[in-house]
Amino acid sequence: MFEEAQYLAPVTRRADGSIEVELSRSHPGFADPVYRERRNRIAELALRHVPGEPIPAVEYTPEEHEVWRIVSAELAVAHRELAVAEYLHGCERLALPKDRIPQLEEVSDWLEPLTGFRYLPAAGLVELREFYGTLADSLFHSTQYIRHHSVPLYTPEPDVVHEVIGHANALASDRFAALYRLAGEAARRVETREALEFVSKVFWFTLEFGVMAEGGELKAYGAGILSSYGEIREFRQMDIRPLDLAAMGTTTYDITHYQDVLFRAESMAHLEDVVGAFWATCDDDAIARLALPVS
Ligand code: TIH
Ligand code: FE2
């Protein structure tokens, strides 16, 4: 699954036409049939989306809005202490609601005037090339279902909390939005599967799970850390390595646990100079050289 797709779950259609999104055993909702059916129905909406038309709205339940309220409140406190300034700047510009789950169409309408980004709904699996490639067009594929209420502090798959609190706040910053677009351009430019996976791993270790030195402290800017009030309290204890393209593009990871290996940028400008410049210019040959084992 990680080879073929972004880290979202495979989608299948049942005989009656309804759809089912695979759920991993490690997910807290695995043994909850009500949750699973709810997740499937929300995913189905995404498949009904017609490009160019508004994203179908989800009628979230009071319980789902309550999960958002709990996570938003916890994260707001954690972010003040542990998120990089550029991300906090995005939070201020976007001013997401804290009391209810916003619709992806609303998030798009708030983001577009800031950085040009809009959201697209994703049922589950989005092919790597499609997920990253569309970033070049300022489009971000997003799930709409929310994490299981029993474990609000961390979920092993992207959900609307991660996509919106983690990513949209970053996409509201001009500097981060530019980096997302460059990743998209790189994904479109490279031809081989290996090169595409290298580009996606650099994305994983930066825009998903990157950390940065700021004011003599270690802060987070990766959306996956910034959407989990469990993981955000632990990242400083992890194995923190210097920003290195070859290492990021070849290190393996498991998405279902807190990330134990993280890469540190020394500043926003350092991230742009190393990773932004890489995405802006990389091709298959350059990546093949970087991916060579060091002898
Ligand atoms: N673990 C994140 C969270 O709890 O918000 C969600 C994910 C991001 C990337 C992979 S899983
Ligand atoms: Fe993500």
Does residue 6 sit within a domain?
A: no
Q: Is 150 annotated in the active site?
A: no
Does residue 2 sit within a domain?
A: no
249, with CB counted inside 10 A (0-12, 13-18, 19+), is buried
pLDDT digits (tens, 9 = 90+) for 234-253: 999 999 999 999 999 999 99
101 — pLDDT class (breaks 50, 70, 90)? very high
- Which among 216, 197, 187, 214 is positioned nearest to 271, based on CA atoms? 214
Residue partners of 169: CB distance under 8 A and separation at least 6: 87, 90, 91, 94, 96, 226
Residue 153 Cα: closest atom of ligand 1:
4
Residue with tokens 């595409």: 196
Does residue 4 sit within a domain?
A: no
Q: Is 162 annotated in the active site?
A: yes
15 — pLDDT class (breaks 50, 70, 90)? confident
| Residue 163 CB less than 6 A away from ligand 1 | no
Domain of residue 173 covers: 11-290
Does residue 123 sit within a domain?
A: yes
| Residue 56 in this model has a pLDDT that exceeds 60 | yes
Nearest CA to ligand 1 atom 8: 224
Give CA–CA dist 49/182, Å, rounded: 26
The CATH number given to whatever domain includes residue 63 is: 1.10.800.10
Give CA–CA dist 82/14, Å, rounded: 44
Q: Is 66 annotated in the active site?
A: no
| Residue 158 CB less than 6 A away from ligand 1 | yes
How many residues does this entry show for the chain?
295
For residue 51, CA distances in Å to 46, 48, 82, 118 come to 11, 10, 37, 12
Distance from chain centroid for Cα 262: 16
What separation in Å is there between the alpha carbon of 289 and the centre of ligand 1? 31
Take residue 54 and report the two structure tokens written for it. 């508004």
For the whole model, what pTM was predicted? 0.95
125 — pLDDT class (breaks 50, 70, 90)? confident
Does residue 232 sit within a domain?
A: yes
| Residue 8 in this model has a pLDDT that exceeds 80 | no
Does residue 3 sit within a domain?
A: no
Per-residue confidence (pLDDT) for residue 6, from 0 to 100: 56
Query: Between vectors from CA 122 to CA 94 and to CA 21, what angle results, nearest 5°?
Result: 135
Greater confidence (229 vs 5) lies with 229
| Tally of domains in the chain | 1
pLDDT digits (tens, 9 = 90+) for 57-83: 999 999 999 999 999 999 999 999 999
Share of the chain above pLDDT 70, in %: 97
Helix (H) or strand (E) holding 141: strand 139-142
Greater confidence (10 vs 92) lies with 92
Residue with tokens 């994490």: 147
Does residue 5 sit within a domain?
A: no
Does residue 259 sit within a domain?
A: yes
